[in-house]
Amino acid sequence: MDFFEYQTNAKSTAIYPREAAVTYPLIGLAGEVGEILNKYKKTIRDSVPVDKEDMESELGDVLWYLAQTANDLGISLDSIAGKNIRKLADRAGRGKIQGSGDHR
């Protein structure tokens, strides 16, 4: 499945008030990232391996909320992915892949 197909299919399962567009999926995205971090934290605490199936499921939830945020903003995941890779390649080419700030 490619990003376009995923984003289109994900949109068909988005059930939240239109007046909460952008806000609802952003809050959901933050919550899902928090869940992943909490589960990963417990692997550190308990010295146990990461449950890859569980993480895959949680990352899928992150992807869904990301797709819905992009849908609500009228941005394609393909565009996001392409621009991000070009940005990273440019930074790597200039030796600026490390460091901080948006304008490296």
**Domains of the chain (ranges, CATH numbers):** 3-93 (1.10.287.1080)
pLDDT of residue 69: 98
pLDDT of residue 98: 83
pLDDT of residue 86: 96
Query: Which residues of the chain are under the pLDDT cut of 50?
Result: none
Taking the C-alpha atoms of 4, 56, 27 and 38 in order, what is their torsion angle to the nearest 10 degrees?
-160
pLDDT of residue 99: 76
pLDDT of residue 96: 86
Mean of the per-residue pLDDT values of the chain: 95
Q: Which of 66, 69, 67, 70 is nearest to 33 (CA)?
A: 66
